[in-house]
Amino acid sequence: MKLPPRALLAALRLNHGPYCGRAHFSEASRLKLLQTIQLTDLEPGGNMKALASDSAISLTPRDERINETLARKIPLLTLDQIARTWWPRNTTSRDDARRRLGLLVRIGFLRAFRVRAHPERDLKKPLWRWKPGEPEPPYGLLSYEARIRWTEALKPTTVYTASERSAQIYAGRGGRLSHPLQVTHDLHVSAIYLRLLKENPAEAAGWVSDNVLAPLRRGKKLPDAEIHDADGRTVKVIEFAGSYPPERIRKVHEDCARRNVPYELW
């Protein structure tokens, strides 16, 4: 479905954007986005007939991991992200993943949306790492490095989210795509999590999403994610810079410096 004008305006007023996540837009930019942003729910509300006919299907451990990841850790994933993380690397893995994900959509555990987003960048390492006691980062240089990454145009992309059903089962989030203008930002936050899951599973287990942090950070800077230890203490902040201006990066640094918490800016 196409978002009605009021829904798009509401989304735009949230100051979320495809380039830098929580970005600020001029009124002219907002009006232009109204003409270009398209959001399609590939399975609106789930197919209830399919739910009934497929009710005997058992979830595999892989299905459970995908569902829980989307409900509790990250807001969305692309087909390629899911295939490379949970399927073996071979010539059929992408098609195999697509078929299984289609089934999970059909029986009501996932939702699928067709959106426009920048192609995923290969995030090999953070733009900047900081810990207490170190000097301030070069805000202007980091902003420049973040902005010049976006050389490819937006393209139609299928993303998967947890459904309302999965949100209830896994005590997380799910349902509609909350921020359709932030998809590029969110798929890169997901990429950071998946890299951490591969390289440091123990640290990935402590990943706390912005959705969980939001009630605790009202009136304060809300990071994309935090890494918590076994006692619930914040040991690291994770932020994807998108194409942040220097002042946005300064706010990330000042918040972490005030809390005496290390951060990674990707």
Where on the phi/psi map is residue 5: left (φ > 0), alpha (ψ -120 to 50), or beta?
alpha
Tokens of residue 80, six digits:
């390629």
225-228/234-239 β-pairing: antiparallel
**Is the per-residue pLDDT at 154 higher than 90?**
yes
Question: CA torsion sign, 260 to 201 to 214 to 116?
Answer: positive
Q: Tally helices (H) and strands (E) across the chain.
A: 12, 9
- Return d(Cα 187, Cα 193) in angstroms, integer: 10
Mean pLDDT, rounded, for 122-142? 97
The answer to whether 126 and 189 are in contact (CB under 8 A) is: no
Whether the Cβ atoms of residue 71 and residue 130 lie closer than 8 Å to each other: no
Q: pLDDT tens-digit profile of 66-123?
A: 999 999 999 999 999 999 999 999 999 999 999 999 999 999 999 999 999 999 999 9
Domain ranges of the chain: 5-265
Q: What is the pTM of this model?
A: 0.81
User: Which amino acid is located at 244 in the chain?
Assistant: Y
Task: Write down the pLDDT at residue 52.
Answer: 40
pLDDT, tens digit, for every residue of 18-27?
334 444 444 4
CA–CA gap between residue 238 and residue 225 (Å, rounded): 5
Query: For residue 119, what are its two tokens?
Result: 């192609």
Higher-confidence residue of 64 and 178: namely 64
Q: Which H or E run includes 265?
A: strand 263-265
Secondary structure (DSSP) of 146-176: HHTT--SPPEEEEEEEE-HHHHHHTTS--SS
- Would strands 110-117 and 40-41 be described as parallel, antiparallel, or unpaired? antiparallel
218's tokens:
């009202």
Tell how strand 225-228 and strand 207-209 pair up.
Answer: antiparallel
Return the amino acid letter for 149.
Answer: R
Cα–Cα distance for residue pair 7/185, rounded to 1 Å:
20
Handedness of CA 63, 66, 71, 72 (dihedral sign): positive
Per-residue confidence at 6, pLDDT binned at 50, 70, 90?
Answer: very low
Cα–Cα distance for residue pair 244/94, rounded to 1 Å:
33
